[in-house]
């Protein structure tokens, strides 16, 4: 589990095609090499991936993850290339502060930015969610966009908006988002279960 509070920028070092539509992605990070443990999870722009290798290169730590066909098809990972920036977050430990909301790292689909409004040191993003996911998004509820926990400001049909504060713009990749960009969307787990309970009544 994660919280949607990004703790590092990553930069894709390489993407190598493996057998059976599997890609091995190597990512530079600022995490200490000792904290990058093979077999551990890492949220990479909201996608929970397993570390399969780690090391150091020219004083920089790196880790490698494998992405399979479903991840490549349903998330932005399929478009990652050398130099792509990604938001990174390590898993929660018992006793850690829950600063955002509970995030599983299981991306539900892609949302599309339809407008960006620049404000004083902030930005308001309007996005369109896939129709099958929009019913889970509510005003004052939570969503994770590229792994970043955000509060929903308004909802109208399949569209919703979020306000990105200066700190979040400074420490995540959301500062570069523009109209037509796709982002990994994870809906709030509580909303998913509430909807399921209503369906079974």
Looking at the fold, whether 54 and 137 belong to one and the same domain comes out as: no
Task: Name the one residue in this structure whose structure tokens are 């909201």.
Answer: 46
DSSP string, 60-106: EEEEEEEE-HHHHHHSGGGG--TT-EEEEEPPP-TT----S--B-S-
**170 domain-assigned:** yes
Looking at the fold, whether 133 and 58 belong to one and the same domain comes out as: no
pLDDT tens across the length of the chain (201 residues): 898 899 999 999 999 998 778 999 999 999 999 999 999 999 999 999 999 999 999 889 999 999 999 999 999 999 999 999 999 999 987 777 777 788 889 999 999 999 999 998 899 999 999 999 998 999 999 999 999 999 999 999 999 999 999 999 999 999 999 999 999 999 987 777 677 777 776
What is the domain count for the chain?
A: 2
Looking at the fold, whether 73 and 141 belong to one and the same domain comes out as: no
State how beta strands 182-187 and 142-145 pair. antiparallel
Domain of 182?
Answer: 109-200
Looking at the fold, whether 75 and 121 belong to one and the same domain comes out as: no
pTM to 2 decimal places: 0.92
Percent pLDDT > 90 in the chain is 79
Q: Residue 187 sits in a domain of what CATH number?
A: 2.40.30.20
**144 domain-assigned:** yes
Q: What are phi and psi of 138, to 5 degrees?
A: -135, 150
Q: Determine the pLDDT at residue 188.
A: 86
The answer to whether 146 and 175 are in contact (CB under 8 A) is no
**47 domain-assigned:** yes
Looking at the fold, whether 80 and 145 belong to one and the same domain comes out as: no
């Amino acid at each position: 589990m994660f919280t949607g509070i990004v703790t590092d920028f990553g930069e894709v070092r390489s993407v190598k095609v493996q057998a059976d539509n599997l890609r091995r992605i190597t990512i530079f990070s600022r995490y200490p090499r000792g904290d990058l443990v093979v077999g551990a999870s890492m949220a990479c722009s909201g996608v929970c991936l397993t570390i399969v290798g780690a090391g150091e290169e020219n004083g920089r730590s790196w880790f490698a993850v494998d992405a399979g066909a479903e991840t490549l098809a349903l998330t932005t990972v399929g478009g990652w290339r050398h130099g792509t920036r990604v938001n990174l977050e390590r898993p929660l430990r018992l006793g850690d502060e829950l600063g955002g909301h509970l995030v599983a790292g299981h991306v539900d689909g892609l949302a599309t930015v339809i407008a960006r409004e620049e404000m004083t040191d902030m930005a308001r993003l309007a996005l369109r969610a896939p129709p099958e996911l929009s019913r889970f998004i509510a005003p004052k509820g939570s969503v994770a966009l590229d792994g970043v926990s955000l509060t929903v400001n308004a909802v109208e049909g399949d569209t919703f908006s979020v306000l990105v504060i200066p700190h979040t713009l400074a420490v995540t990749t959301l500062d570069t988002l523009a109209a037509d960009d796709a982002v990994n969307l994870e809906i709030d787990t509580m909303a998913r279960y509430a909807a399921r309970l209503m369906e079974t009544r």
